[in-house]
Each structure stands twice: as C-alpha cells, then as structure tokens.
Amino acid sequence: MNYHNPVLLNETVDGLDIKPDGVYVDVTFGGGGHSREILKRLGKEGRLFAFDQDKDAVSNAIDDDRFVLINENFRYIKRFLRFYGVKEVDGILADFGVSSHQFDVAERGFSTRFEAQLDMRMDQRSKLSAYHVINEYEENQLRQVFWQYGELKQAPVMARTIVSARKQAAIETTEQLKIVLKRFLPPRRENKILAQIYQAIRIEVNQELEALKELLLQTPEVIKKGGRLSVISYHSLEDRLVKRFIRNGMFEGEPERDMFGNFEVPFKKVSKLIVPTQKEIENNNRARSAKLRIAERL
C-alpha cells in the first residue's frame, strides 16, 4: 500500500533522544516510516507502541516482538497504554495531517483531485462524515466550521449557499460540492480555496483539534521526566496549539505565576522550530508546510 515518505524522518526521531531500552509511542503510525526508524535505534529490551485509527494502516504493521500497533485514535493514549501495563514512556512522536495514502485513494474523499463521495473519515467506523457536515449541519454550524478551521473570509456566504443548494437535492460528491461553491473559486485561486474548504470539513469530521488537545493534555502524565515530545504540524491551527502547550502547558491565557513572577510548566523547548530543507521539499511536496517542535518533560 502506497503511504507517504515520512517527513523530517531523522530530525523527528533524533528529537526523541532514544534510549536503547526505552519505551516509545508513535501516535500517527500511517505507513510506519517513523516507527521503523525508532525500532532501528532500540535495543532488545526497548518497546514501541503505535496508534492509528485508520484500518488501512493495519496492513503496514511491523513484524517485531518489540512492537504493538493499536488501531485507535491517539486521544485515548493513556487508556490503551494502561491496558498494556504501561504507565510512563520515554517519548512520544506525532506526525499530524493526512497521509499520502488517504489523499491518493479517491473513494476516501480527501483529495480535491478526484470525484468521490463526501467522506473524509480517517476512522471509517465513525458515524460523522463529510456528507453529514455538508447536508445536515445548520447554517451557523457550517459558517463556524469554514471560518474557524478553514480561515475562509467568505464563510458566511459559503454556508448560506450550501444550505440553499441542498434544499433542492442532497450534495453527495466532491464534484457536486465544487459546483455549488463555484462562484467562490476564481481560476487562479481555485486550488488554494478548495484546499481550505476541504481542510475545514476534514478537521470537523475527524475532530482533529479536539483530539490533538486531548493528546497533549495527557502527555505530562504519560511521558516520564527527561522524556521527549517530538511533534510535526502542517497548518497554523495545529502548530499554534503545540507551541502554546509547550510554552505554557495550556492552550489559552497564561499560567499562574508565583510572587517572584515564575510559573511551572510541564515541558521545556529543546530546540528552535525545525522545518524541512529545500531539497526535502523538492523530493516530497507534502513536507512544504511541516513544522517540527521538540520538548523535554521537566
């Protein structure tokens, strides 16, 4: 199965500062590229757990006694690690975003390139799909999705247009959605705006930002002191949450300070923001918007 080349492979795994006998978690297994690199660096006593909610990823499972693949959303990380008798780990790696495999399989409905049913579910067991969002959300809910997750200035009019169109007939495919929103897609900017629309719907369908927040909030309990968090984000909404969490231990506001102006946070930043080289971007277009942040548990 064709999965993407892992982005910032060495930089992300280097960021974990792997101990040969350590326990690590790859919360976005996908094609297993990062996991294979982690296993190369682990000794016989080391262990690696991986999460992926997409059942297609299960076929990439690695045949290695040190490895366990959990076919679930990473938002349940603590629960499933406890199930396997693990309370603390030495590091967590996350590579957010959609895999090339999900983009390239037309019927999944993730790509602007193909005609497909409105789906976009990363977990195909989920009841909420793009079809439900487009055909059943109230106008104000749609407006909020496009504005918040797609950062689309024309979100109110787009939402109104969809609600008006679906009164005539259900909007069932990606092509039908493009036709309904055609007046918002000027030729020179069509791909960019479509990408923003798809991103907004996909984030809503998969509750991506909620899952990301739930994962990050569990990391101070799951990662032992001195352990590492190594995270790649692909758009500003994700990256902002990761950056704020590493800096403040929270997503909004500022932590409470003591009388000396100091405050306690669970992590410290390990390096500056890391982005792919021009060469990597040329070899792997998916890397162009990647941002890697590494932190150490205090």
Q: What is the pLDDT of residues 236-263, one digit of tens each?
A: 999 999 999 999 999 998 888 888 888 8
Which pLDDT does position 113 carry in this prediction?
59
> Distance between CA atoms of 129 and 205, rounded to whole angstroms?
6
Residues 22-33 have a mean pLDDT of 96
At 32 the pLDDT is 94
pLDDT the model gives residue 102: 45
Burial of 217 per CB tally in 10 Å (0-12, 13-18, 19+) = middle
Distance, in Å, from the CA atom of 140 to the CA atom of 138, rounded to the nearest integer, reads 6
State what percent of residues in the chain have pLDDT above 90. 81
- pLDDT value of residue 112: 54
What is the rounded CA–CA span in Å between residue 32 and residue 266? Answer: 29
- pLDDT at 284 > cutoff 90: no
| Position 111 confidence tier, pLDDT thresholds 50, 70, 90 | low
Domains and CATH numbers, the chain: 9-100+209-297 (3.40.50.150), 107-206 (1.10.150.170)
Residue among 201, 209, 212 nearest 128 (CA): 201
H and E: helices and strands count for the chain = 12, 7
| Partners of 296 in the β-ladder | 228, 268
Looking at residues 116-143, what average pLDDT do you find? 94
Lowest mean pLDDT among 34-38, 69-73, 187-191: 187-191
Tell me: the pLDDT tens digits for 83-95?
Answer: 999 999 999 999 9
Amino acid 103: pLDDT: 45
Dist. CA 175–CA 179, nearest whole Å: 6
> The pTM is what?
0.90
Q: What's the mean pLDDT in 195-201?
A: 94
Report the distance separating Cα 72 and Cα 74, nearest Å.
6
